[in-house]
């Protein structure tokens, strides 16, 4: 048998030589790329922009990592309510979710400032505030609670539906049993307008409306459509009483176990998914108002003057929750809105 050529002997010997050198000097061997499996849970159905954004985030993470990072999407509260999923992230048993800032405010009160009634003039103004220094200050509060904030997404401006009567002015709200998110601001908001607030998770809401346990609910058009509330509601009022943002968050336990390169990759995927999610949300909200009317909802346009009356009536509620989020947070929020302009 012929002996190996010099080149082949050298090639065969190099790995062994490298291994021997590493062992002799204590140097670490190059680590293999890490395969990552994760779950992202949403509280809304597949066709809602919350879940569409989650699927885009998972798709981008997979593409950017060459398939190493596989994120499975669980929609429609399969993994629990917003609050249950937040607890799972903090415990390290789930990796990602996208709660409303209203439910996140139960854990970090400063996030409640975003939902203060009649604060934002437009989605673009909200983008400027949440993508700017103020939004970054809010996200910086999450690691102390076992979470990492990646981006602000959009749920949209919230409007009222009910099964009892048209609501054109604040007096029309009197006595309506209105489901709200499990958030003190929204509870106080509707109680302050003369309604009776009933907090509950969104995944329980359709049945509550169908059985008349509650008369009304308030959500963006995308949620009203995706949850088919038009089947159990008759009237829609364009109150636009609050802007609702979502936050793409990760478990800090999970995040801290990632290599910096993978953290950067997921942050880049989150940024791209944010642009897609917001565009999708806005396009759908523009289209769905007419669709909801075709589904049988009677739409009442609430005038700017009436919204101003509602805001005046809510001044004690606003003052109370400014105190709850902190005067410094409220001051910085107001300054960020002013700097953003009307857009």
CATH of residue 169: 3.40.190.170
Provide the pLDDT confidence category of residue 20 given band limits of 50, 70 and 90: very low
Q: What is the mean pLDDT of residues 86-110?
A: 96
Q: Is residue 299 part of a domain?
A: yes
pLDDT at 1 over 80: no
How many domains is the chain built from? 1
CA distance 180 to 186: 6
Q: Is residue 28 part of a domain?
A: no
Residue range 305-337, pLDDT digits in tens: 999 999 999 999 999 999 989 999 999 999 999
CA distance 190 to 340: 28
Q: Are 275 and 53 in contact (CB under 8 A)?
A: no
Q: What is the mean pLDDT of residues 37-50?
A: 96
pLDDT at 131 over 80: yes
pTM: 0.85
Q: Is residue 20 part of a domain?
A: no
219-230 burial, b at 16+ Cβ within 10 Å, e below that, comes to: bbbbbbbbbebb
Residue range 260-308, pLDDT digits in tens: 999 999 999 999 999 999 999 999 988 999 999 999 999 999 999 999 9
Q: Is residue 30 part of a domain?
A: no
Inter-CA distances, 151 with 79, 178, 248, Å? 21, 30, 5
Q: What is the mean pLDDT of residues 212-228?
A: 96
Q: Is residue 18 part of a domain?
A: no
CA distance 159 to 153: 18
pLDDT at 188 over 80: yes
Q: Is residue 298 part of a domain?
A: yes
Q: Is residue 308 part of a domain?
A: yes
- State which residues form the domain around 62: 36-340
pLDDT at 30 over 50: no
CA distance 334 to 324: 15
- Looking at the DSSP bridge assignments, the partners of residue 40 are 73, 96
């Amino acid at each position: 048998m012929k002996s190996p050529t010099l080149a082949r002997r050298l090639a065969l010997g190099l790995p062994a030589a490298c291994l021997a050198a590493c062992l002799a000097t204590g140097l670490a061997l190059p680590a293999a790329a890490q395969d990552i499996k994760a779950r992202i849970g949403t509280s809304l159905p597949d066709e809602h922009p919350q879940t569409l954004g989650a699927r885009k985030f998972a798709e981008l993470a997979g593409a950017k990592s060459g398939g190493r990072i596989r994120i499975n999407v669980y929609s429609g509260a399969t993994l629990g309510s917003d609050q249950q999923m937040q607890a799972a992230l903090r415990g390290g048993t789930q990796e990602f979710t996208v709660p409303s800032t209203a439910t996140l405010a139960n854990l970090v009160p400063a996030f409640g400032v975003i939902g203060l009634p009649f604060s934002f003039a437009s989605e673009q103004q909200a983008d400027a505030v949440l993508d700017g220094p103020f939004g970054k200050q809010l996200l910086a509060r999450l690691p102390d609670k076992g979470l990492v904030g990646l981006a602000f997404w959009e749920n949209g401006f919230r409007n009222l539906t009910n099964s009892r009567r048209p609501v054109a002015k604040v007096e029309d709200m009197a006595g309506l049993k209105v489901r709200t998110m499990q958030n003190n601001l929204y509870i106080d908001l509707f109680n302050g307008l003369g309604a009776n607030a009933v907090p509950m998770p969104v995944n329980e809401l359709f049945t509550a409306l169908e059985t008349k346990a509650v008369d009304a609910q308030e959500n963006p058009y995308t949620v009203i459509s995706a949850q088919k509330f038009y089947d159990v509601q008759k009237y829609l009022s364009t109150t636009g009483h609050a802007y609702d943002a979502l936050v793409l968050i990760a478990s800090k336990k999970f995040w801290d176990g990632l290599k910096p390169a993978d953290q950067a990759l997921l942050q880049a995927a989150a940024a791209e998914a944010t642009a897609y999610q917001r565009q999708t949300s806005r396009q759908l909200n523009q289209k769905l108002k007419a669709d909801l009317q075709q589904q049988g909802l009677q739409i009442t346009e609430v005038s700017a003057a009436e919204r101003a009356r509602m805001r005046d009536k809510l001044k004690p509620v606003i003052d109370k929750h400014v105190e709850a989020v902190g005067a410094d947070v409220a001051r910085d929020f107001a300054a960020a809105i002013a700097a953003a302009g009307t857009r």
